[in-house]
């Protein structure tokens, strides 16, 4: 039986790199103390100062970008968004993109070499749009992964159903739950995500590590995510930097979503790849190639 006591968070890098025919990058966990006492955590890959920064989606963590960074072959920074991974939870449970964007700005100022290529998937993509809009001096290029304001079809209801259960007897119990929802592929592949997205409490109960599981659960009294789609569209329209939208062919975005995005950003590039909503899990090389194309002289 696999437990969290067996976990080294970087133990998967070597296997991933071998599968991808590349060398595993150096990786280290870094932490930034925020003015209100919370902590923001991230992973720095490579030996130089990153000029590519990655933001994950709701319910994920910084490691979702491991394979993309391996393909990129350059220094990079991947954040645990507030309420996820090793970053602190917000006491107000407010994880709206405009609320958490200032934390990302502080992280870029602290750890990256601006202006950077900013890549965000799902919640991370909406947050990235707010960052690029508010601080154009920090962002040279914006890459959104399978997201526009409004999230497309089906996302919130699927997440709420999945996180209706918050506590488990073991890691294997979580695996059974995830596989029942068709998440993670094979059991062996799903194990990685389960280990990195859960933790074992002192009482032996395994729970989701990220706060959004509790926010989205029907059993919690924590306030739900706010619906600020208009605010997100306003931020996206104000972005003046080059934008690329990567759409998964089996993701959340439909034709109406893509049309609305094109109307908001007529000069933006839209690229469709064969992938589900978590494009970085299967089409990581496509993302890395697009990141590399934005800054060929630096990546």
Cβ–Cβ under 8 Å, residues 243 and 268: yes
**Helix (H), strand (E) at residue 279:** helix 279-282
**Helix (H), strand (E) at residue 31:** strand 27-33
Enumerate helices (H) and strands (E) in the chain, giving the number of each: 12, 11
pLDDT confidence bin for 37, thresholds 50/70/90: very high
Q: 244-291, pLDDT tens digit by residue?
A: 999 999 898 999 999 999 999 999 999 999 998 889 988 999 999 999
- Residue 246: strand pairing partners: 145, 271
- The overall longest dimension of the chain from CA atoms, in Å, is 54
Q: 185-208, pLDDT tens digit by residue?
A: 678 778 888 889 999 999 999 999
Q: Tell the residue number behind the tokens 């602290």, with chain if given.
A: 110
76-98 mean pLDDT? 94
Q: Can you give the pLDDT at residue 222? A: 43
CA distance 252 to 243: 19
- Residue 206: strand pairing partners: 168, 200
Q: Can you give the pLDDT at residue 31? A: 98
Give burial (CB, 10 Å; 0-12/13-18/19+) of 274. Answer: exposed
For helices 187-197 and 171-180, give the axis angle rounded to 10 degrees.
120
Of 22-31, 175-184, 229-238, which range is least confident? 175-184
Handedness of CA 168, 171, 173, 176 (dihedral sign): positive
CA distance 199 to 170: 10
Mean pLDDT for all residues in the chain: 89
């Amino acid at each position: 039986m696999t437990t969290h006591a067996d976990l080294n968070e970087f133990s998967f890098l070597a296997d991933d790199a071998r599968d991808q025919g590349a060398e595993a990058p150096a990786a280290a966990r870094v932490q930034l103390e925020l003015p209100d006492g919370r902590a923001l955590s991230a992973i720095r890959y490579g030996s130089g100062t990153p000029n590519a920064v990655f933001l994950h989606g709701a319910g994920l963590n910084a490691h979702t970008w491991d394979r993309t960074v391996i393909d990129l072959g350059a220094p990079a920074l991947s954040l645990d968004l507030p309420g996820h991974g090793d970053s602190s939870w917000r006491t107000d449970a407010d994880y709206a993109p405009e609320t958490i964007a200032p934390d990302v700005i502080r992280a870029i100022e602290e750890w990256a070499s601006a202006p950077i290529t900013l890549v965000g998937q799902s919640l991370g993509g909406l947050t990235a749009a707010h960052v690029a809009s508010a601080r154009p001096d920090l962002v040279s290029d914006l890459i959104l992964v399978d997201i526009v304001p409004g999230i497309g079809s089906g996302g919130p209801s699927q997440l709420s159903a999945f996180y209706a259960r918050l506590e488990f007897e073991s890691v294997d119990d979580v695996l059974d739950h995830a596989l029942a929802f068709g998440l993670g592929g094979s059991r062996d592949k799903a194990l990685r995500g389960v280990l990195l997205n859960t933790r074992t409490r002192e009482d032996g109960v395994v729970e989701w590590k990220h706060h959004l599981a509790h926010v989205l659960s029907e059993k919690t009294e924590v306030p739900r995510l706010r619906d600020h789609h208009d605010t997100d569209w306003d931020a996206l329209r104000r972005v003046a930097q080059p934008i690329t939208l990567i759409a998964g062919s089996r993701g959340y975005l439909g034709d109406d979503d893509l049309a609305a995005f094109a109307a908001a950003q007529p000069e933006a590039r839209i690229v469709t790849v064969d992938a589900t909503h978590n494009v970085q899990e299967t089409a990581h090389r496509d993302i890395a190639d697009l990141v590399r194309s934005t800054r060929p002289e630096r990546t």
